[in-house]
A and B are shown apart, each in its own frame.
Chain A
């Protein structure tokens, strides 16, 4: 192996898994993905040229697509993007052998489960209309601003925006709780993610048993119908359980 080459690690899966030949990963040109096995574990890896930076959109997509593709079939412990070690031997000994039981336990906990992410976005016009018809200060500010120069109305615009933002915050909290309550019977655990857009309605990662996925989809279809025109819902997954693996202290009651 040339000196500038190292081994990129995507994640850890059970050893009794095979990878389709020709599967490519991160890097330019992309490295071919292979397995490094030790005991009951295998690491998904590919060679990478460490003299070139990583993080192009293609790299990010390759990392997640590989792990999410695997997560549809087998339990997967996903590593955060950018994990590189010196060689296969280090992967086998320092990563897999030294943490063998810990990883095996974690994989067992994930057996038959995958992560799904629900994202919902408020329809802007509907959301604004709702605030303007229910908040007298907001509608008054809007009328004031309409007759004023943009710069002169800056304070009013700030205040109006703040009212709307606060109303959206409240709606987000309420609708996230509705989502969690609706999904409670078909998910094992949930993590509410931070909103990533000012009109985010819900953004939640769910750990779901494979046989409950149809229930999840039905429940979401129901919510999507209830929220038709108000919130556009998307379901992402199956994914590797990025939001449900961690190296922190054991939680007494994971889930819920």
Chain B
């Protein structure tokens, strides 16, 4: 094994803690089957689908609908509440709880303050450190 570059890869999720995790651990990382065959144990996996299929009919219609609601003549604020809610779709509701749980490792650059720079809690420590 070596460190390799994989282009592309999986997709899924919206911007939240659980979706970020799903983006990462379901289709990336080492695959056990490549190393262990005899003692492999099958376990049922339930997966949560928060994927947004992009470049689809739904995407196009969502964009068109958002344009329709956009106030081009008014001030720059437009209709922030409506638009904000609409773009997240159903996934937002599913993942809300997890977002809070994962909050400590997400840093929002748009609304950052220096006190938010703490690292995740560390569960392991190396001898001699």
Contact = CB atoms under 8 A, between A and B. Distances in A.
B10 to A, nearest CB: 7
Interface string B7-18: 111111111011
Interface residues on B, range: 35 or more
Contacts of B32: 9, 79-80, 83-85, 95
A166 B46 CA distance: 34
15 contacts: A55-B47, A60-B21, A78-B25, A80-B25, A105-B2, A124-B66, A129-B72, A138-B67, A164-B63, A194-B10, A196-B54, A198-B52, A232-B108, A232-B109, A245-B4
Interface of B: 1-15, 17-32, 34-48, 51-52, 54-55, 57, 59-68, 70, 72, 76, 78, 80, 83, 87, 95, 97-98, 101-102, 105-110, 112, 119-129
B29 A158 contact: no
A55 B81 CA distance: 33
Main SS of the interface on chain B? loop
A57 B50 CA distance: 12
Nearest to A253: B5
A60 B39 contact: no
Contacts of A87: 39
A10 B37 CA distance: 17
Contacts, number: 322
A250 interface: yes
Contact of A194 (B8, B18, B76): B8
B1 to A, nearest CB: 5
Interface residues of A, number: 115
Given A74-B124, A195-B11, 9 more contacts: A64-B24, A69-B124, A78-B29, A105-B2, A128-B67, A165-B55, A165-B59, A194-B8, A198-B63
Contacts of B110: 224, 228, 232-233
Interface of A: 6, 9, 11-14, 16-20, 23, 33, 48, 50, 52-57, 60-61, 63-66, 68-70, 72-74, 77-87, 90, 94-95, 98-99, 102-103, 105-106, 109-110, 117, 119, 121, 124-125, 128-129, 132-133, 138, 142, 145-146, 156-158, 160-162, 164-165, 169, 189, 191-200, 207, 220-221, 224, 228, 232-251, 254-255
